[in-house]
Structure 1
Amino acid sequence: MESGKILIMSAIFISGLAVGLLCSYYFFISSVTYPVEIGPDQIIPVTDQNYFPYVHKILSEANDSVHMIIFDVKYYPDFPDSLENVLLDDLIRLAKNGIKVKVITDQYLTEKPVLTYLRENGIEIKYDTQDRTTHSKLIIIDRKYVFVGSTNWGFYSIEKNHEANVLVYSKKLAEQFLNYFNGIWNEN
């Protein structure tokens, strides 16, 4: 009789664990949306932890250029598989494959080792002027995709914070933002 109670208790415990895992999947993991195909003149909101899969997907398909303005970029050598490092590796892979990658960042938070790491791997980097704070978060990919919003490239921004961005497929908008980028690039 005692072994029957243990068996029933074990079954209840395992059932509860299974229900808990399913609920956590439904409420947490399934809340991350994965990139959908985006066509001309489409706008997609990219919020919170959805930022990484969208940016990673579009970068993985880039074949012409990447122009980026960002306030803060982090590199985590002790965590090579971190999402932030994966995005940096995307940029490096593109540069090594002959795709032009240019980054403008601010001197305030971005640490020197990440800039050295990127420069050593073929990425052109400039600081904005010291009398201006570069707080923009902008990525122009292949002169047709534009990410603009609030996400920096650091652990908290990509993996923890509430962040709001949009992905726009528009050659016209990309051209306007590229003119903005080039204006800042040429000032330095």
Structure 2
Amino acid sequence: DTYISPDDLVLTAFYNLLSEAQGSIYFLAFSFTSNELGEVVREKAEAGLTVKGVMDEEQIASNTGTEFDPFRQAGLDVRIEGIDGQMHHKVFIVDGKIVVFGSYNFSRSAEERNDENIIIVYNQQIAEQFMLEFQRIYADAHE
């Protein structure tokens, strides 16, 4: 599935997909300020799903309304990237078989103003490749 913002109601499709997650949610986020997406991620963690994430350090420090602190306060295993340069990924891996990726930052600007895209791929082999990248970045991340 392909979605283009601001016209395709990306947030709705994304929210619905995360709401249907049953086992795990892993994410790599350059910028994550969307209250709606943050809320559904926290709800899924509270429901017992495995939730882990890595966010870009500069964006955590500079973004008003970053979801990093609410994630940590809710007890989620969300870490700060530890690489040189920016961790510029915008990726969700859901239930080990669905990958959401594209230019879309998890923010109101991406939803309402910017020309952005996400692609949702339903393929376990592709999800496994993205999990390898998640694990590589997660291994270098810190709390």
Give the TM-score normalised by structure 2. 0.88
Q: Which runs of 5+ in 1 are unaligned?
A: 1-43, 75-83
For 1:118-133, list aligned pairs within 5 A. 118-133=71-86
Larger radius of gyration: 1
Q: Which runs of 5+ in 2 are unaligned?
A: none
Q: Secondary structure at 2:57's aligned position in 1?
A: coil
Q: Given the alignment, which residue of 125, 136, 143 partners 2:96?
A: 143
For 1:56-135, list aligned pairs within 5 A. 56-74=15-33, 84-111=34-61, 114-135=67-88
Moved over 2 A (4+): 110-114
More strand per residue: 1 or 2?
2
**Aligned residue pairs: how many?**
136
> In structure 2, what is the Cα distance between the partners aligned to 1:55 and 1:105?
18
More helix per residue: 1 or 2?
1
> In structure 2, what is the Cα distance between the partners aligned to 1:116 and 1:155?
18
Instruction: Tell me the amino acid that sits aligned with residue 3 of structure 2.
Output: V
> In structure 2, what is the Cα distance between the partners aligned to 1:65 and 1:185?
15
- 1:85-134 Cα distance to aligned partner (Å, 9 max, x none): 11111000001011111111111122486322111113211111152310
Partner of 1:54: 13
Instruction: Tell me the amino acid that sits aligned with residue 97 of structure 2.
Output: K
> In structure 2, what is the Cα distance between the partners aligned to 1:48 and 1:187?
32
Does residue 1:170 correspond to 2:129, yes or no? no
